[in-house]
Amino acid sequence: MEKPAIVSAEEWQLARGELLKAEKELTRAQDALAARRRRLPMRRALVGSGPRCGRPAQRTGESHAARRKSRGAMP
């Protein structure tokens, strides 16, 4: 890897200004991408579903008592 050139303060300031401009553009692009991610539509989460679960999916709004009853747990 080559070492950076030694330049005058004015040249350094110009290069630094260009770098800051590029960094601001990148930050704005990342912020826009994050905003798109936050606006993605959502899905209702299902608890207890999946290939290893072995039982039907349950909606997250189901009460704890209803889940216990459906599994045959003691009251």
Question: How much is the pLDDT for 57?
Answer: 54
* DSSP 3-state of 50: coil
**pLDDT above 60 for 75:** no
How many Å apart are CA 44 and CA 56, to the nearest integer? 15
Question: How much is the pLDDT for 44?
Answer: 78
Phi, psi at residue 41, to the nearest 5°?
-65, 155
Mean residue pLDDT of the chain comes to: 81
User: Mean per-residue pLDDT for 28-34?
Assistant: 98
Question: How much is the pLDDT for 5?
Answer: 94
| Domain ranges across the chain | 9-70
Of 14-18, 36-40, 56-60, the range with the lowest mean pLDDT is: 56-60
